[in-house]
C-alpha cells in the first residue's frame, strides 16, 4: 500500500488525476473548479482532492517539486490506486523566441539530465513521451475552448539553479522548447505501468528575453492551462 498517499475518508481517487507540483494549486483547483470536492489525503501537506467537473469524477493531487517527488506520487497513483490517466499541470521556462510568457506548452517528449531511468535497468537510453490518447483529447479540448498550445520536446532538469547559460542554449539548439522538473519521471512511470500521462505547462520565465511573468500573466496563463486540462480530463 502507498506510503505517501493515504485515504483519510471515503472519497475515492478518480481514474483521471490532474497533478500540479504545488499542493496549494491542487487546493485552488478543488475549490474553484470542482463540485463537491473532498480531500482524500493530506499526508505531508501534499493534498489530494476528488470532485466532479461537468459531471465527471476528477481528482487533483500535488506532486511536489522535482523528479524524485513526482516519481513517488505518480507511482503510487498508478500502482496503488489504479489511476489510468495523469495530466501534469505546471510552469516552465521557455527557450524559444516563438513561445512567449503566458503561452501553454505540451510536452510531446521529456528529455532529461536525470538518471531516473536506472530503476528500469534498460540497456540503452529511454526517450519518454506523452500518451497519444490524452494528446488527441487535448487537441479536441483546445479547439472547443479556443485555448491554444504549442507541442514539442521539453527538458526535465534535476537542478533549478544552473551555473552559466550555455546549458539551456545547448538544449535550445536541438529544438527543446522549455524546461521544467517533473515530466520525465511521470512519462517513464506511465510507460512502465502501461498507463497514460501528459504534461501541460504555462510559460512563466523566458531564457531568451529574460522576462518573468507578472502576477496577472501567471493568473491568466495558469487558468487557461487548468481549464484546458480539465476539459481534456472529462473526455478520458
Is 108 exposed, middle or buried (CB count within 10 Å of its CB: 0-12, 13-18, 19+)?
A: middle
| pLDDT of 116 strictly over 80 | yes
Q: How many domains does the chain have?
A: 1
| 145: Cβ contacts below 8 Å, ≥ 6 apart | 227, 228, 231
Note whether residue 6 is domain-resident: no
Note whether residue 11 is domain-resident: no
Distances (CA, A) of 93 to 25, 53, 103, 118, 230: 18, 29, 11, 26, 23
| pLDDT of 158 strictly over 80 | yes
Across the range 33-53, mean pLDDT stands at: 96
Note whether residue 4 is domain-resident: no
- DSSP bridge pairs for 156: 112, 180
* Catalytic residue ranges: 205
- The per-residue pLDDT for 91 is 96
Note whether residue 9 is domain-resident: no
Note whether residue 10 is domain-resident: no
| pLDDT of 85 strictly over 90 | yes
**CA 144 remoteness from chain centre:** 21
Domain that holds residue 122: 16-233
Amino acid at each position: 500500500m502507498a506510503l505517501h498517499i493515504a485515504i483519510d475518508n471515503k472519497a475515492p481517487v478518480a481514474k483521471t488525476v490532474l497533478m500540479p507540483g504545488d499542493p496549494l494549486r491542487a487546493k485552488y483547483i478543488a475549490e474553484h473548479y470542482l463540485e463537491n470536492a473532498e480531500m482524500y489525503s493530506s499526508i505531508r501537506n501534499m493534498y489530494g482532492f476528488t470532485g466532479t467537473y461537468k459531471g465527471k469524477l476528477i481528482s487533483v493531487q500535488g506532486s511536489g517539486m522535482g523528479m524524485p517527488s513526482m516519481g513517488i506520487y505518480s507511482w503510487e497513483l498508478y500502482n496503488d490506486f489504479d489511476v489510468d490517466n495523469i495530466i501534469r499541470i505546471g510552469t516552465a521556462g521557455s527557450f524559444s523566441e516563438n513561445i512567449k510568457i503566458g503561452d501553454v506548452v505540451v510536452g510531446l517528449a521529456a528529455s532529461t539530465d536525470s538518471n531516473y531511468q536506472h530503476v528500469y535497468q534498460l540497456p540503452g537510453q529511454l526517450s519518454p513521451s506523452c500518451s497519444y490518447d490524452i494528446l488527441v483529447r487535448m487537441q479536441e479540448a483546445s479547439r472547443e475552448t479556443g485555448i491554444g498550445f504549442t507541442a514539442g520536446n521539453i527538458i526535465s532538469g534535476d537542478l533549478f539553479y544552473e551555473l552559466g547559460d550555455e546549458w539551456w542554449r545547448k538544449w535550445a539548439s536541438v529544438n527543446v522548447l522549455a524546461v521544467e522538473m517533473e515530466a520525465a519521471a511521470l512519462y517513464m512511470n506511465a510507460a512502465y505501468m502501461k498507463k497514460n500521462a501528459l504534461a501541460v505547462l504555462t510559460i512563466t520565465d523566458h531564457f531568451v528575453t529574460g522576462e518573468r511573468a507578472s502576477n496577472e500573466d501567471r493568473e491568466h496563463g495558469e487558468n487557461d492551462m487548468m481549464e484546458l486540462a480539465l476539459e481534456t480530463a472529462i473526455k478520458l
